Structure 1
Amino acid sequence: MTPYNQTAERLVVLACSATKLAHAAPAIELYRGVMYSTYRANVRAETAPAVMILSARHGFIRPDTVIEPYEQRMTDARAEALLEEIASAMPAAWPAGARTILLAGGKNYRRVMRAALECQAERGIGPAGASVAETSGSLGYQRQQLSAFLRGA
C-alpha cells in the first residue's frame, strides 16, 4: 500500500493520470502515471504527506477513495465546470492541518487546485499563511520537484 498521512503538516495535491490499472482500486493505487511512480519511489511511511487527488472525472478525492478506471481529460471546459462547482465539490475530509503544500499537475489542474485552496481559506479551513508551491516546467523537472518535496528539501 502506498503510504500517505492525512494529518501531516505537508500536503501534496496530485493530478490524476491517463495511465491506470485495469480494475477498481483506491485512487492512490489506481493511477500509474509517472508522477505516481515518482511518488511511490520517493515517499517514506514515516514522513508521508497528506494527499488529495484532482480527478478529471471525479473532482477532488481522497487517496483511499475506490474508483473504477475511466478515460477523461482535464480540458479547459472541464476545468471551468469544476471551478463553477468548487465550493460543493470540496470533500469534507480535506486535510486542514497542512502548512506546506505542493500542487502537482498541468496548468488546468493547478488552476482548479489554486481555486480549491482559496475556497478552503474563505471557509477558514487550514492554517493561515500556508506555504504553497506548484510544479512547473517539463515533466522531468516536475518529477524532480515532487521528489524534493517528498524528501523535505
Structure 2
Amino acid sequence: MTMILPSRRLLILSCSMTKRDGPQTIPARDRYDGPLWRTLRHADPDGQKAQVAFLSAEHGFREAGSTIENYEARMTPELAAAMKAGGLGMRWPQPKTQRRVMPPGEHPGMHIASMTEHGRIPFIEVCLVGGALYLDVMQHFVELFQEDGFVTGSAPITEICAPIGIMRRQMTIWLNSSPRAANSDADAGGWR
C-alpha cells in the first residue's frame, strides 16, 4: 500500500466576504465562496496540489479544513497590526472579555505545526494570495514560520495581490506548476 504524502507547497488565501450557507459549521474550504475560493475548488478539487490555509479577520490563520461558522468581519489596519503583534501564539477569535482564564479560539502556531507534522515536513514553496492588508500579515507569519522551521529558509514565496481576475489566473498557474526548486533562477521574485 502506497502512502500519499501531503503536498509540501503551502497556499495561503484571504478569507471571502461571500460565504455559502449550510450547517452551522463547515470546512472553510467549503464555506468561503468568493472568486478565489471557487477557483481553488476548480483548479485543485482534490486538494492534492497544495495544502491550503486562510487568513481571516475573525479566525486569524487556520488550515482550510478547519470548520467555521458563517460570520461577518472585515480586516482593518488595527486587526492586521494585532495579528502581527500576537505572532504565532495569539488565539482567534479574540475573547470579548478580559477574564483571566485561557482565552478561547485557536492560534496560528497550532495550525502550521499540524500541517507540517510539527516541522518534520516543512513547506518548500509558499504562495500568498489576497489584498494588501492580508498580504502584510501573511508575509509576517511566513517569516515566523521560517524562523520556527515550518517553512524552509530557501522556500520560494510567490505573492499575488492584483485585480481579482489576475489573482485567479496567477493562482491557477501557481497551482498547476511544478514545485520550484529552491535557489533556482525562478526564485527571483513573485507576482506582486
Alignment TM-score > 0.5, same fold? yes
Q: Which ranges of structure 1 fall in alignment gaps of 5 or more residues?
A: none
C-alpha distance in 2, partners of 1:106/1:6? 31
C-alpha distance in 2, partners of 1:7/1:92? 17
C-alpha distance in 2, partners of 1:145/1:131? 15
C-alpha distance in 2, partners of 1:6/1:110? 28
C-alpha distance in 1, partners of 2:126/2:29? 18
> Match for residue 11 of structure 1?
10
**Counterpart residue identity of residue 133, structure 2:** N
Normalised TM-score (structure 2):
0.72
C-alpha distance in 1, partners of 2:170/2:8? 18
Answer yes or no: is 1:120 the counterpart of 2:121.
Answer: no
> Match for residue 77 of structure 2?
76
**Counterpart residue identity of residue 121, structure 1:** Q
Of the two, which has the highest radius of gyration?
2
Map 1:136-151 to 2 at 5 A: 136-151=161-176
Q: CA deviation at 1:10?
A: 1.2
**Counterpart residue identity of residue 139, structure 1:** I
> Match for residue 43 of structure 2?
42
Q: Which ranges of structure 2 fall in alignment gaps of 5 or more residues?
A: 90-106, 117-121, 179-192
> Match for residue 21 of structure 1?
20
1:116/1:6 CA distance change after superposition, 3 Å: farther
Measured against aligned partners, the alpha-carbon deviations of 1:100-148 in whole angstroms (never above 9, x if no partner) come to: 1110110110100011011112223222200001102211101111110
> Match for residue 101 of structure 1?
126
Q: CA deviation at 1:7?
A: 2.6
Normalised TM-score (structure 1):
0.89
Measured against aligned partners, the alpha-carbon deviations of 1:18-71 in whole angstroms (never above 9, x if no partner) come to: 001224211110000000011111115384211111111010111121111100
Deviating more after overlay: 41-50 vs 94-103: 41-50
C-alpha distance in 2, partners of 1:146/1:28? 15
Q: Identity of aligned pairs, percent?
A: 30
Bigger relative contact order (CA 8 A; separation at least 6): 1
| Contact map agreement 2:123 2:150 (CA 8 A) in 1 | no
